[in-house]
Amino acid sequence: MKTQWWSLAALLVLLLLNAVMNPAFFAVSIHDGQLYGSLIDIAFRSVPLILTALGMTLVIATGGVDLSVGSTAAFAGACATLALGGGWLSALAAALLGGLAVGLFNGLLITALGLQPIIATLISMVSTRGLAQLVLGGQILPIANPSYVAIGTSAFLGVPVAIWIVVFSCLVLSLLLRRTTAGLFIEAVGANSLASRFIGLSEKKVRLVVYTLAGLFAALSGVVLSTNIRAVDGNNLGLYLELDAILAVVIGGTRLSGGRFSLLGTVFGALIIQTVTTTINTQGIRVELMLMVKALVVIAICLAQSTRVSQLWTRLRQGAMS
């Protein structure tokens, strides 16, 4: 079974568990033409993570990693505030441009200077966060522009705009990757970068593109995060986002060593992480247990996906039968 379906199964189990504990869990109601309910809430809250994790999926598929996405989100949010005077569109453009710049910088460190991805992005993780704080002057800057804030707060056809952004991003990205050869090239570089050199596939170009895309998606996530709370906090916006994003990718069935990737799996992975968080919050589990519970769930899911465990499982079953 493809690993992405494992993560879907895990997600469904988690949701069902919630429904058992809280019969009203699956209920969706409509107020003022907008949908409300736990499911919508989980989907909405996982938007920044999904966006970041989509970009991270491509980076990980090439066998790399991007630690700078959280800082990039903060930096992009800060860039947007500089351009707010020109309206929401210019703010959005400024954010995306900021993310693009960081991603390109990462890509160049890795391809042109030959730095290891973990080192290169660690450098920009630190420096980009610093840059965000510089732009904001060390302050938490409130966002007052109502049309820009609408990105993270309003709804369209009853569904939050942020969710539409995710749906749209997923569609565009999968079309872009699967209808062209880009997806195959990314997987080829991740599966065997030396062999890609022998077939004349420019792995450097591929890497440059994926890190740039990761920067763009992190920026988009920064926009959603900051408009949702109507403020940009250079110190805390997107803090530890990179860790959750890596986790989402791995839970979704994409291997850290690179190769085959699954965007859908990543979406499921991000939803799982958010569901766990929401469950802990709503079930009255003590907050200080949050990280431990999260860790347990993650360990369980990763074990369920591992080939060694599945081999062990088959052997146990065969042993029981014979």
Partner 1 sequence: MSVILEARGISKSFGPAKALVDVGLTLRAGEIHSLMGENGAGKSTLIKILSGIHRADSGVIELVGEKTRETIAPRSNQEAQSLGLSTVFQEVNLVPTLTVAENIYLGRELKRFGILDKRKMCEGAKRALARLGLDIDVNANLEDFPIAIQQMVAIARALDLKARVLILDEVTSSLDRMEVESLFAVLRQLKSEGLAIVFISHFLDQIYEICDRVTVLRNGRFVGDWTLSELPRTQLISKMMGRELEATERALSNTDSSEAQPAWLECEGLARAGSIEPFALNIRAGETLGLAGLLGSGRSELIRLLFGIDHKTQGRLKIDGTEIAIDDATDAIRNGFALVPEDRKTQSIFPGLSVRENIVLALQTQRSWARALSRREQNEIASRFISAMGIKTTDAEQPIETLSGGNQQKAILARWLALEPRLLLLDEPTRGIDVGAKAEILKLVRDLSAKGKSVVLVATELEEVVRVSDRVAVLKDHRKIGELTRPNLNENAVLSLIGEAP
Any idea which residue has 């609408």 for tokens?
Answer: 150
CB 219 → partner 1: shortest distance, Å? 23
Q: In the window 219-278, what residues touch partner 1 (CB under 8 A)?
A: 259-260
Q: How far apart are CA 84 and CA 211, in angstroms?
A: 27
276 CB burial (10 A radius; 0-12, 13-18, 19+):
buried
Answer yes or no whether residue 181 interacts with partner 1 by CB under 8 A: yes
In sequence order, what are the residues at sequence separation of 6 or more whose Cβ sits closer than 8 angstroms to the Cβ of residue 234?
A: 74, 78, 129, 132, 133, 135, 136, 138, 139, 140
The answer to whether residue 200 forms part of the interface with partner 1 (CB under 8 A) is yes
Selected binder of partner 1 within 16, 89, 172, 184 (CB under 8 A): 184
Among 194, 287, 320, 321, binds partner 1 (CB under 8 A): 194
> Position of tokens 């859908």?
264
Region at 24 (left for phi over 0; alpha for psi -120 to 50; beta for the rest): alpha
> Please, which residue, 187 or 242, has the CB nearer to partner 1?
187
CA distance 93 to 88: 9
3-state secondary structure of 54: helix
Residue closer to partner 1, measured from CB, 27 or 256: 256
144: exposed, middle or buried (C-beta count within 10 Å: 0-12, 13-18, 19+)?
exposed
Question: Nearer Cβ to partner 1, position 177 or 247?
Answer: 177
Q: Does 317 bind partner 1 (CB under 8 A)?
A: no
Using the rule CB under 8 A, is 201 a contact of partner 1? yes
Q: Which is nearer to partner 1, 122 or 182 (CB)?
A: 182
Q: Of these, 21, 86, 130, 197, which contacts partner 1 (CB under 8 A)?
A: 197
Q: Does 306 bind partner 1 (CB under 8 A)?
A: no
- Should residue 116 be labelled a site residue for partner 1 when binding is judged by CB under 8 A? no
With H, G, I as helix, E, B as strand and everything else as coil, classify residue 34. strand
Among 195, 289, 292, 300, the residue binding partner 1 under the rule CB under 8 A is 195
Continuous segment of H or E residues that includes residue 155: strand 155-156
**Per CB under 8 A, does 204 bind partner 1?**
no
Choose between 187 and 244: whose C-beta lies nearer to partner 1: 187
Query: In terms of CB distance, is 91 or 209 closer to partner 1?
Result: 209
Residues of the shown chain interacting with partner 1 in the complex, contacts defined by CB under 8 A: 179-182, 184-185, 187-188, 191-192, 194-202, 259-260
